[in-house]
Structure formats: structure tokens, C-alpha cells
Amino acid sequence: AQSVTQLGSHVSVSEGALVLLRCNYSSSVPPYLFWYVQYPNQGLQLLLKYTSAATLVKGINGFEAEFKKSETSFHLTKPSAHMSDAAEYFCAVSEGFGNEKLTFGTGTRLTIIP
């Protein structure tokens, strides 16, 4: 069985500060990992995904995440927060072929302080 833990249901950072959203996963097979973002009144949008290639994954809007097998982590970072980054962020894991369903964490709501 797979699971995802997102530490911190709410995170606030100042505009221009580092954004760090934490995600730890559990999977019985090599995982495929995803970060999605949901802006108000919109659907989920993929930020980035790890599919067993490079461990440092770059996504849209300046976000990146690093897969660390030893720590079972896939934390999301952005060097400098913008006001437009305010949204809810979801980490998800999939076991891949034959079991493509996504298992999500509970989400982290990011607030940007002007």
C-alpha cells in the first residue's frame, strides 16, 4: 500500500522568501511522485513529476523537487515566493503501470505575506 504525508496543512512565507513544502511517501515499489497545485476555483494542475529519471525535478513557475530515496521524501521548493504562488499544493504517489491511481496527501495551503 502507498501513502503520502504532507507536513503542515498551512504554510505562510513572505514574498521573496524561500518556499519549502514537505512531502514524505511510503510505497512498496519504486514510486512515481507528483506535485499538483490548485488555485482558487480551478482544477488541479501538475507542477512537476518524478518518474525514475533525474532525482532533481524542475517544474513550472520556478518550482523544483528532489527525490530522496533514503529519506522517502519529495519536498517542493521555490527560491523566491511570489504573490501568485498562493494556492493549495498536493503531493501524490503512484505505483505505476498496472496501478496508476494517485494517492494524495492532505494538501498544504500556501499563503504569501506581502
Partner 1 sequence: EAGVTQFPSHSVIEKGQTVTLRCDPISGHDNLYWYRRVMGKEIKFLLHFVKESKQDESGMPNNRFLAERTGGTYSTLKVQPAELEDSGVYFCASNGAGFTDTQYFGPGTRLTVL
Least distance in Å: CB of 114 to partner 1? 27
Compute φ and ψ for 46, nearest 5 degrees.
-70, 130
Spell out, one character per residue from 15 to 34, where the chain touches partner 1: x when CB under 8 A holds, - when not: -----------------x--
Q: Give CA–CA dist 37/45, Å, rounded.
A: 5
When binding is defined by CB under 8 A, the residue of 1, 29, 40, 42 that contacts partner 1 is 42
When binding is defined by CB under 8 A, the residue of 63, 103, 108, 112 that contacts partner 1 is 103
Q: Which residues lie closer than 8 Å to 94 by C-beta, 6 or more apart?
A: 2, 31, 32, 33, 34, 100, 101, 102, 103
- CA proximity to 66, closest of 53, 51, 77, 55: 55
When binding is defined by CB under 8 A, the residue of 7, 17, 24, 51 that contacts partner 1 is 51
Per CB under 8 A, residues contacting partner 1 are: 4, 32, 36, 41-46, 49, 51, 90, 92, 94, 96-107
